[in-house]
Amino acid sequence: MCIFCKIVNKDIPAHIIYEDESVLAILDISQTTIGHTLIIPKEHTENFLDCPKEILNKVTSVSQAIGNKIMSNLGAQGMNIIANVNEIAGQTIMHFHLHLIPRYDSNDGISISMRSADNIDLENIKNKIIKD
């Protein structure tokens, strides 16, 4: 059984922020920034992309509610909401979860940078993505 299934089953303790019949929200043990929270479906599914739509809808709905509570109660100025999919993207626990990482200032412990590529054929990429 994976570690998040164990947390869902209360075999491993966690700081639970919210719980209902299908979703659990807990503090991430790493606390990348203060209030770093994980929104986890109770049913085991590997990642965002293979999560059944009805479960995904519940996860995103709880994420929005908890995200707003974190913003107002911890005085965050912004938030990174992240789903890592597979090891290449940094996923370490293969049980779907969304990270809510509140942002306080530019030196708050997280930095996300995205490069801009040159000379890319956007039309070609678009056509590849939309083909059946």
Taking the complex as a whole, how short is the minimal distance between the CB of residue 3 and ligand 5GP, in angstroms?
5
- Considering only 26, 59, 62, 66, the residue that binds ligand 5GP (CB under 6 A) is 26
Q: Does 43 bind ligand 5GP (CB under 6 A)?
A: no
Pick 9 or 30: Cβ nearer ligand 5GP: 30
Amino acid letter, 91: Q
Using DSSP's 3-state secondary structure scheme, residue 94 falls into coil
Quick check: 100 and 70 in contact, CB under 8 A? yes
Known catalytic residue: 97? yes
Catalytic choice (36, 95, 97, 99): 97
Number of residues near ligand 5GP (by CB under 6 A): 13
Pick 58 or 79: Cβ nearer Zn ion: 58
Q: Does 50 bind ligand 5GP (CB under 6 A)?
A: no
Torsion sign across C-alpha atoms 1, 84, 130, 128: negative
**Residues in Cβ contact with 35 at an 8 Å cutoff, skipping those fewer than 6 apart:** 27, 70, 74, 76, 100, 102
Overall size of the chain counted in residues? 132
Q: How far is CA 115 from CA 40, 87, 112, 118, in A?
A: 30, 20, 10, 10
Amino acid letter, 131: K
Q: Does 97 bind Zn ion (CB under 5 A)?
A: no
DSSP type of residue 90: T
Q: Does 47 bind ligand 5GP (CB under 6 A)?
A: no
Q: Does 61 bind ligand 5GP (CB under 6 A)?
A: no
**Binding residues for ligand 5GP, per CB under 6 A?**
3, 12, 14, 26-30, 84, 90-93
